């Protein structure tokens, strides 16, 4: 079945607008329309785009929803759900690679938190690992999923090897006050003990909160290792 002329013309106009001005002037539903065109080629997708925005409370909610949850929305199939997941992951990979500091050295807790912002994680909450070379230049920034399998010294050490890192810094970004919990302190101390046996340094465990940055190195509950 071929697209109707009205739908086909609308799609062409959206594409032409994007080619001319990127997403400038686009409504949120039009952004979703433009994406859905590539997963649903023969249907008017404007109603579906608006339904998604209503269901997930905006673009952020749509892109953060799990594919399985998206597929529960009537009219949206596996291809569309996977497309949204792909866009989110591709954007995260791009920001992680392209927006890291230009080999700037991390010399303080403030520098470490600044790296998260430059890597596109400025507003995100969670636990992040910065992987550094021998000059304390950032090799990569990765979010650690908070589950028993991922939150372990072994998984962080494996990624340190994959980055060929000489040292690491952990940053726990929180919406509330910047204070470490007992569990965070225990994990940081466990990690420092584990990496010390393989000649990798844990420079710091930083809690970045609304009231500032809390540094384990500066407060003394993590063995002091200089950034230099």
Which pair of structure tokens corresponds to residue 81?
Answer: 């759900």
Distance between alpha carbon 122 and the CA centroid of its chain, in Å? 9
Fold type of domain 102-219:
Cytidine Deaminase; domain 2 (3.40.140)
| CB within 8 Å of 64: residues ≥ 6 apart | 56, 88
CA distance 183 to 70: 34
- What pLDDT, in 10s, does the model give residues 48-85? 999 999 999 998 889 888 888 999 998 888 999 889 98
CA distance 54 to 65: 13
Q: Residue 203, class by beta-carbon neighbours within 10 Å (0-12 exposed, 13-18 middle, 19+ buried)?
A: buried
β-pair type (201-209, 212-215): antiparallel
CA distance 170 to 145: 13
Q: What is the mean pLDDT of residues 197-214?
A: 86
Cβ atoms 57, 38 nearer than 8 A: no
- What pLDDT, in 10s, does the model give residues 16-35? 888 888 888 889 999 999 99
pTM given for the model: 0.54
Indicate if the pLDDT at residue 228 is higher than 70.
Answer: no
| CB within 8 Å of 138: residues ≥ 6 apart | 100, 101, 103, 104, 106, 115, 130, 131, 132
Of all residues in the chain, what percent carry a pLDDT higher than 90?
22
| pLDDT value at residue 47 | 92
């Amino acid at each position: 079945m071929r697209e109707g002329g009205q739908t086909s013309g609308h799609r062409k106009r959206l594409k032409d607008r994007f080619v001319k001005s990127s997403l400038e002037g686009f409504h949120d539903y039009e952004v979703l329309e433009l994406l859905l065109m590539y997963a649903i080629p023969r249907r008017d997708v404007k109603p579906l785009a608006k339904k998604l925005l209503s269901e997930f409370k905006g673009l952020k909610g749509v892109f953060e929803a799990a594919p399985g949850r998206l597929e529960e929305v009537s009219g949206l199939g596996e291809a569309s759900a996977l497309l949204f997941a792909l866009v989110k992951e591709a954007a995260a990979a791009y920001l992680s690679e392209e927006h890291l500091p230009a080999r700037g050295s991390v010399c303080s807790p403030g520098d470490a938190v600044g790296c998260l912002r430059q890597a596109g994680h400025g507003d995100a909450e969670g636990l992040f690992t910065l992987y550094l070379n021998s000059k304390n230049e950032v090799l990569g920034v990765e979010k650690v999923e908070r589950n028993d399998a991922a939150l372990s010294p072994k998984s962080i050490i494996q990624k340190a090897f994959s980055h060929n890192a000489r040292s690491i810094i952990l940053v726990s970004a929180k919406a509330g006050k910047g204070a470490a919990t007992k569990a965070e302190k225990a994990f940081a101390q466990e990690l420092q003990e584990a990496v010390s046996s393989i000649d990798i340094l844990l420079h710091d465990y930083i809690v970045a909160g609304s009231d500032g940055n809390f540094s384990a190195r500066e407060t003394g509950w993590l063995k002091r290792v200089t950034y230099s």
